[in-house]
Amino acid sequence: MTDYNADDARKLADEFKREGYFDQLKRDILTQKHDNDELPLEQSIRNNVASVVRKMVTDDENLIFKNRGSTSALIEAQLFKQGYKRLGEGEDGIQLEEYLNKVLNDSELTQGIKDKLNGLRPTDGGNESIQNDGSA
């Protein structure tokens, strides 16, 4: 069998994750500086959320006197809706969805992953894929 089937790709992806590259990527994206912002993405999202919530509270004071857990869950769901629409509102809002798309479709990132995957293969021992590799 010279062909690779879909399982091999899955296995490869799992191996990638197992090596910790996946989490590293994730962390990198979350901590890298946002466009023209000074702060990392994570922090800017946080600030944004805080301002939105504060605005909400000023609109409706009762929010802070209600059950904190359930209220925050509701607000969280609201913010998450429609591709972080609420976070994009206002003058200094973050277009999070757009930004993420941009980051993910970055050719550099894809290339980096590919490189890592290439580097991963030889170290991958005892797997079916390596056997296939040998025959190929």
Partner 1 sequence: MSGYYRRSYPIPPTGPQRSNFWHESSGSDYNHKPYFNGGYKRYGRYGNFVDNDVSSRNHRNRREEVNDGSSSSYESPLLNHEEDTKRPIPRVKWDTEELKAKYHYFDVREKKLIHMEEMTNWNKDSKYPPNGYVLVQENNMGQPRPVFKQRVPQEKAVDPRVEQRQQQQQQQVIPPTYRKLRSKLALLPHIVYDKFSVGPPPPNEIVLSLLSNVATVQDISIKNYFKRYGEISHFEAFSDPNSALPLHIYLIRYGSYSGKLDDAARAAYMAFKDHEGRGCSILGTKFNCTLNKNNILEKTISRTVTDNLNRVRKITNDMKKMEKRQKEEEKKESQAYSERKIPLDLAKQINGRPVLVVSKSFALHHGLRVEDFKVKLRRYRWSRILDHSSGLYVVFNDLEHARNCQKVESGKMLITSRAKRAPVDVRFQLIAPTVDKQPTNDINGNHAALPKSSNQLPTYKTKEELISAATSYILKDLENALHVDIRKRIIGPAVFDTLNPASFPDLIAKKEVKEKERKEVVAKKAEELKKKQSTNNDFDIFSLYSGGVTQSNRNRLKRRGSEVIDILPSGRRKLFKGVKPMAHMLNDDSLSKEQTPVAPSTSSPFDESEDEEMTSSDATEYESGEDDNVEQKKMIKVETESTTPEIDHAEKPLFVSKKAEEIMRIPEPYRPSVGGLPKPIQPDDTIRPNLFIDDLQKTVTDMEDLFILKKVLGLDEPNQNDEKSEHDGTLEYRIWKLRSQAQNFRVDQENQLRLLGAPLDSLLLTGNGSFKAQGYRKIPEKLKSCYLPHRRKPHQPLNTVSYHSETKDGTPEVEREESENLEEPESVPQEISSSRDNRASNRRFQQDIEAQRAAIGTESELLSLNQLNKRKKPVTFARSTIHNWGLYALEPIAAKEMIIEYVGERIRQPVAEMREIRYLKSGIGSSYLFRIDENTVIDATKKGGIARFINHCCEPSCTAKIIKVGGMKRIVIYALRDIGANEELTYDYKFEREIDAEERLPCLCGAPSCKGFLN
**Which residues of the chain form contacts with partner 1 (CB under 8 A)?**
2-10, 12-13, 16-17, 22, 25-26, 29-30, 42, 45-46, 49-50, 53-54, 57, 61, 63-65, 68-69, 71-73, 75-76, 79-80, 84, 96, 100, 104, 109-110, 113-114, 117-118, 133, 136
Nearer to partner 1, 68 or 125 (CB): 68
Strand ranges inside 73-116, DSSP E? none
Residues near 40 by Cβ (< 8 Å), separated by ≥ 6? 30, 31, 32, 33, 34
Task: Dig out the tokens for 109 from the structure.
Answer: 């990132």
Q: How far is the CB of 92 from partner 1 (least distance, A)?
A: 16
CB of 65 to partner 1, least distance (A): 7
- Residue 6 burial by CB count (10 A; 0-12/13-18/19+): exposed, middle or buried? exposed
Tell me whether residue 36 or residue 113 sits nearer to partner 1 (CB atom).
Answer: 113
CA atoms within 13 A on the CB side of 121: 13
